Amino acid sequence: MSTISITLNGNETSIPENTSISDLLAQRSLDSRYLAVERNRELVPRRRHSECRIQPGDEIEIVTLVGGGEFLSPRLMSEETTLNFSLSTRVTDLVIETKSQMPESQTADQPLIVGSHSFTSRLIVGTGKYDTFDTMRDCLEISGAEVITVAVRRDRLIDSAGRNILDYIDLKRYTILPNTAGCFNADDAVRVARLGREILEGLENPGADWVKLEVLGDKKTLLPDPLATLQATEKLVADGFQVLVYTTDDPMTARRLQEAGASSVMPAGSPIGSGQGILNPNNIRICLEYLKEHDPNYPVIVDAGVGTASDVCFAMELGVDGVLLNTGIAGASDPRKMARAMKLACQSGRDAAGAGRIPRKLYATASSPDVGQIKMG
């Protein structure tokens, strides 16, 4: 049988002549429902797999969904510096009197609405960095999340036991939010978003029409590239996506992304995976003011840097509409217990934002009445 040479997921290989995409997947025992395929950097829709014949020299990419939520390479994890913060030095202790950004009409039991999607839970949880698929599945359930994030990758189509992450995710229970983690330019982010959409359309999951957009500036800080992020937002909105965009806490950038059509702007609390919490609450407050100026219900979600339950609670108390996190649960000593803590913190912070805190004062104010005291001295 005559063969041809192609590049498959970055590796040169030989396949029989006249092989279709469907044939190639069948030869490798890959379930097309879990996959998306590119030929020479162009998406091949699932409906065309059987008719698309692979030619000599073609570059074929086969990708699937993998655990994701925050991008942090193993190399960087080994080099990261541990930072210790005292609660007494947190910026949150500054005496700044501001009204809650939550509209007076909102209550804790109102749904979170992002574009055409509506959810009860305001906690969005990533699926990466768990020690086992079983731990991931349990934490997703305990967290109460209805939206979970995944990454799109060409490796780990199945593990050594023949399992895919989707075997552990109830696609009828969760709306999948595919992300573009690991992309460093607008074009790559758009490609990855389209691949994610192809997979989720095949799985008939409602998350097929949206994307968590990340376009990073470098691998050390994992901070977003503002210009490339704006360019990718414009392209994806034009392509019919509902875009939830990861950005810095810069209010000007946030406003530009909203004007570009983003369904939600998601300022970082602190760098991805750092666990530093909300480093600049004043900027988050300004983002909320600007983004909700013409639409009080526009969803603003804190994304990245959350380390523990108090970070989630504080973010919600600022008046944001939700929190997206991954490492804070997956990296905890007891992920299942932390998943529960994050759930409760999200609910508590939301209630506190709606209730309205008492004003900070320099001097004490007695809570017991002066009237009726017994005679002293």
Question: Which residues are catalytically annotated?
Answer: 212
Residue 301, burial from CB neighbour count under 10 angstroms (0-12, 13-18, 19+): buried
Angle at 308 between CA 109 and CA 75, to 5 degrees: 125
Q: Where do the H-state alpha helices sit in 162-301?
A: 186-202, 226-238, 251-259, 281-291
> Which regions of 289-366 does DSSP assign to beta strands (E)?
301-303, 322-325
Query: Are 188 and 233 spatial neighbours (Cβ–Cβ below 8 Å)?
Result: no
Dihedral angle, C-alpha 299, 168, 157, 16, nearest 10 °: -120
Sequence-distant (≥ 6) Cβ neighbours of residue 121 within 8 angstroms: 112, 143, 144, 145, 146, 147, 343, 346
Q: Report the sign of the C-alpha dihedral through residues 218, 224, 229, 233, in that order.
A: positive
232 phi and psi, to 5 degrees?
-65, -40
**Burial environment of residue 209 by CB neighbours within 10 A (0 to 12, 13 to 18, 19 or more):** middle
> Residue 301 corresponds to which amino acid?
I
